[in-house]
Each structure stands twice: as structure tokens, then as C-alpha cells.
Amino acid sequence: MKKNILLVLTIALTINTNAQSLIGGDQIIKTNLSADVLQNYNITYERSINHFMSISASFATMPKRSLPLKSLAKQFIDNTNIDFDNFKISNNALTIESRFYLGMQKMSGFYVAPFARFGNMALDIPIDYQYNTQSTIINGVTVPSKTVKTKANLNGSIRSQSVGAYFGMQFQLLTKMVLDVWAIGGHYGSSNGKLIANLPAGSPTEAAVALKSTLDQTNANPFKLNTSVSGNSVITNTDGPWLGLRGAGITIGLRF
């Protein structure tokens, strides 16, 4: 009888050890499926520090695309001369976070995650504007002034730094697979950037002055815009707060 009990205990211990070996591993590589669907491709590396804490780094990139949520953007960027239909945007972001788990297993169960995010958003903004030329005399013939309607492209990037937090649940699936589901979170910080429109060589001074005047009409509160002219270039510097929501996400990963 004692031999049978010892045999059962040995088998149970072996099964438990093998299960822990399959489930174990202090590292996870994963991707956010909900963001991938929106063409915001990403990868995250998470590593366990102790039973209740981990650290992770993730990189996300969104290739150049048309501006999403145009109607919302028009409410925050008030200038009827901006061609929102041809507005292009791309984005890269690095996120560093720590997680504090309340579950019984490493990197499993309910967690709270404070994080820092560093972003770089590239913009291509078409601007419609017009300027008046001055009358000139060419070979004794007076060329009258005229109104020229044209377009310029503001190109550049806005850099942001922010901190925030969110919460979620991470589950162990099958053997080496994990499912990470989180609810909404938020982050807040600051931003600054530079956008430049280079006018064609030989453009009259009136063109650059008119473009600056058009850009000065932009209301993007709470962001501050400061536009200046340098030769054939019109430069807009931006700075202001940076606020974002971290929406619900579904992430799948491999633990090793």
C-alpha cells in the first residue's frame, strides 16, 4: 500500500514538474492583434523580474496613410485651407512599461501597468492658398498684377513624451501561448515639432508671405504654432501637451 502511495505521489510530482516546464519561462514575445488590424504593427518583449513584477518594451509602427477620423481632426485643427482628404500621417512609438501582477503565477492574472511612451509622428499636410503678384514691365509692356491660387505641402514630424497607466488580465493558454487582454488606460505628456513647406525656386516673396498668413489662421488649441519665413521656406514650430487613450487591446504571445 505504501509503495502504491509513493508511486502515485512520484507520478503526480513528475506531471506537475513537466507542466511547470511547459508553462514556465521568464520571457514573452507578443503582438497586439487589435492594433495590427488597424495597420499599427507592433511587437512587445516582456521579461519577469520576480513573482509579481515584469518589465517590457514594445515598438509600434504605422506606415503612411490617410488621416483617420477626419471629422474629429477638423474639430481640433481649425483651418478651412487644409486639404484633409489628402492629409497623410505615419507614426512610430517606443513604450517602456512595468507590470505588477496580482495572480499566483508569474506574468499571469490581473495586472496594473504604468508606462512611458516616446512617439514620432510624421505629417504631410497639403495647404491651399493664394497670393497676388505685383504688376511689372517687361520689354516695355506692362504685365498687370494677378491672383495666383496654388498649393503647398507642410512636411515634418512631431515628437512626444508621455507617461500613463492601464490595467488588464494575462492568461496562460495551451503550453507556451499567452493571451493578454487589457481595458482602457491613458497617458499625458508634452510634444514639439517642426513642419516645413519648401516653395519652388523662383517663387515671389508674396507667395511665402501669403502662405505664412494662411498658416497663421490655424487654430489648433491647446497646441501653439509659430510660423516664420526663411527664403523660399515657410517653417511652423509646434509645442503643446500630449494626451492619449490606450484603448482595449487583445494581444497574443509566445512564452519561453
Q: What local confidence, expressed as pLDDT, does residue 2 receive?
A: 43
Determine the Cα–Cα distance for residues 93 and 245; give it in Å rounded to an integer. 14
Does residue 243 contact residue 250 with C-beta atoms inside 8 Å? no
Cα-only R_g, the chain: 28
Q: Rounded to an integer, what distance in angstroms lies between the CA atom of residue 236 and that of residue 241?
A: 17
Q: What is the pLDDT of residue 87?
A: 96
- Residue 25 gets the label, from left (phi > 0), alpha (psi -120 to 50) or beta, of left
Q: Which amino acid belongs to residue 200?
A: P
The DSSP code for 85 is: G
Ranges 10-14, 103-107, 222-226: which has the least confidence: 10-14
189, 163 Cβ separation under 8 angstroms: yes
Task: Choose between 33 and 138: higher pLDDT.
Answer: 33
Strands of 199-248 (E only): list them.
Answer: 224-230, 233-246
Domain of 118 in residue numbering reads as: 2-255
pLDDT in tens, 76-134: 899 999 999 999 999 999 999 999 999 888 999 999 999 999 999 999 999 999 999 87
**What pLDDT, on a 0 to 100 scale, did the predictor assign at position 19?**
43
Domain count, the chain: 1
Confidence of residue 151 (pLDDT cuts 50, 70, 90): very high
Kindly state the cell numbers that stand for 61.
509602427
- How far is 252 from 205, CA to CA, in rounded Å? 56
Buried b (16+ CB within 10 A) or exposed e, 97-119: bbbebebeebbbeebebebebeb
Tens digit of pLDDT for each residue in 43-80?
Answer: 999 999 999 999 999 999 999 999 888 888 888 899 99
DSSP code at position 128:
E
Q: Could you give the dihedral angle defined by the CA atoms of residues 177, 61, 112 and 105, in that order, rounded to the nearest 10 degrees?
A: 20
Q: List C-alpha distances in Å: 18 to 4, 11, 163.
A: 21, 11, 40
What separation in angstroms does the CA of 80 have from each of 30, 187, 220?
42, 30, 12
pTM: 0.83
Q: Are 241 and 188 in contact (CB under 8 A)?
A: yes
Q: Give the three-class secondary structure for 145.
A: coil
pLDDT band at 34 (very low <50, low <70, confident <90, very high): confident
- Confidence category of residue 255, pLDDT binned at 50, 70, 90: very high
Question: What local confidence, expressed as pLDDT, does residue 24 receive?
Answer: 63
pLDDT tens for each residue of 166-223: 999 999 998 899 999 998 899 999 999 999 999 999 899 999 999 999 999 999 999 9
Q: How confident is the model at residue 10 (pLDDT cuts 50, 70, 90)?
A: very low
HSE-up of residue 162 (Cα within 13 Å, Cβ side): 22
Cα 188 to Cα 191: distance, rounded to the nearest angstrom = 10
The 3-state DSSP composition of the chain as helix, strand, coil percent (nearest 5) reads: 20, 60, 20
pLDDT tens digits, 237-250: 999 999 988 878 89
CATH of the domain at 179: 2.40.160
Residue 30, pLDDT > 90, answer yes
Q: What is the pLDDT of residue 104?
A: 82
What integer pLDDT is reported at residue 23 of this predicted model? 57
